[in-house]
Structure 1
Amino acid sequence: MRRGLDALYDASAALAAVFMVGLLVAVLLSIVSRQLHFNVPGVDSYAGYLMAATGFLALAHTLKQGEHIRVTLLLNALHGVARRRLEIWALGAASALAALAAFYACKLAWQSYVFHDISTGNDATPLWIPQLSMAAGSVVLAVAFVDELVLEILGRRVVPVSEEASRNE
């Protein structure tokens, strides 16, 4: 199970990286088209879709790598059982909020599909297509938070600390 979950987080991050490269290509195409005086319809909209996809699909991997911003002022003041209870409460709340966000992201994509929503830009993209990345990223983030919660309850959670965070404290 652990290997499967880690593969899910890594696959989501790899897909985010692919979308980031796509974003780079879209931005470069936009710049080149302006300099050479030709128009690529919808390139700005697609750059926005790719940026959103990159952000949402990278969330779970970022969480699992310990790169999310954590406010640890209260947590560092606690020790033992009190610290563990606060961690469990925080991860439970985060899991619930991530599950709600995932539910509504999936609902939004489904409704956009059912109602044939299209973007208002000149690209006229069916909105459910770019919303799929938001829904998928939100679902994987919810799974990652539940994973962290279960690991904390079982006493097997290891909180990775990023090098940048340790230099800033």
Structure 2
Amino acid sequence: MRGILDNIYRVAGAISGICIVIICITILVRVTGRWFGVVIPSSGDIAGYLLAASSFLALAYSFRSGSHIRVSLFLQRLSPAALIIVERSILLLASVLVVFLSYQLGYMVWESWLFEEVTHGYIPMPLWAVQLPVAIGSAIFAISVIDTTVRHFLGLEMIPKSEEEQLAEAEPIVLDEGRMDKVEEGASR
């Protein structure tokens, strides 16, 4: 089960990256088209939809890899016992909020499909199709947060640390002292 969930998070992250590449290509084609007097209809709209999809699809992967912003200035001052209590409380609150968000986004997609809403712009597209990746990304993020919450309560893992926290805890790099003397001599000349 662990491997399946991790693969889902990775695939969502990869699709997010593909969306960013498609945004770049779309904008490049739009700018190049202007040089030749060609208008690419709804390219700005499509880039916006892809950006929303990319943002939500990346949430689970970035959460699991520790890329989200953490208030480490506050957390580093807590005792280990207090840190566990705070992290568990935040994970429970986040689980509730993300499940609620996922439900609402899923409901929004269903309503758009039910009422056959379309996007505004040169090329009308079914609104549900544009909203669906956002709802899927939110649902995957909800699974990720619940997964992390359960694993945290079972003592299987802690919340992933940010890159800055990992660097702060890393061993300092010790340079060869003889080499440092040569560097200092060169600097004094």
TM-score (norm 2): 0.84
Query: What SS class does the counterpart of residue 76 from structure 2 fall into?
Result: helix
8 Å CA contact retained: 1:26, 1:47: yes
Measured in 1, the distance between the counterparts of 2:71 and 2:13 equals 24
Indicate the residue corresponding to 1:61 in structure 2. 61
Deviation at 1:18, TM superposition (A): 1.6
8 Å CA contact retained: 2:72, 2:165: no
Question: Where do residues 107-146 of structure 1 align in structure 2 (5 Å cutoff)?
Answer: 107-146=107-146
Q: Give the aligned residue type for 1:40.
A: I
Measured in 1, the distance between the counterparts of 2:3 and 2:90 equals 25
| CA distance 1:162–1:110, change in 2 (3 Å) | same
Measured in 2, the distance between the counterparts of 1:33 and 1:151 equals 51
Indicate the residue corresponding to 1:13 in structure 2. 13
Q: Give the aligned residue type for 1:46.
A: I
Q: Deviations over 1:101-158 (max 9, x none)?
A: 1111111111111111111111111111110110000000001110110111011114
The runs of 5 or more residues in structure 1 that have no matched partner are: none
Measured in 2, the distance between the counterparts of 1:160 and 1:73 equals 16
2:3 aligned with 1:3: yes
2:156 aligned with 1:148: no
Measured in 1, the distance between the counterparts of 2:145 and 2:73 equals 21
Q: Give the aligned residue type for 1:153.
A: F
Indicate the residue corresponding to 1:22 in structure 2. 22
Indicate the residue corresponding to 2:184 in structure 1. none
Q: Percent identity among equivalent residues?
A: 34
Measured in 2, the distance between the counterparts of 1:97 and 1:159 equals 17
Query: What SS class does the counterpart of residue 77 from structure 1 fall into?
Result: coil
Question: Radius of gyration: which is bigger?
Answer: 2
Deviation at 1:83, TM superposition (A): 1.6
Measured in 2, the distance between the counterparts of 1:161 and 1:86 equals 15
Deviation at 1:164, TM superposition (A): 4.6
Measured in 2, the distance between the counterparts of 1:159 and 1:67 equals 11
Measured in 1, the distance between the counterparts of 2:121 and 2:165 equals 40
2:41 aligned with 1:48: no
2:72 aligned with 1:39: no
Q: Give the aligned residue type for 2:116.
A: H
Deviation at 1:44, TM superposition (A): 1.0
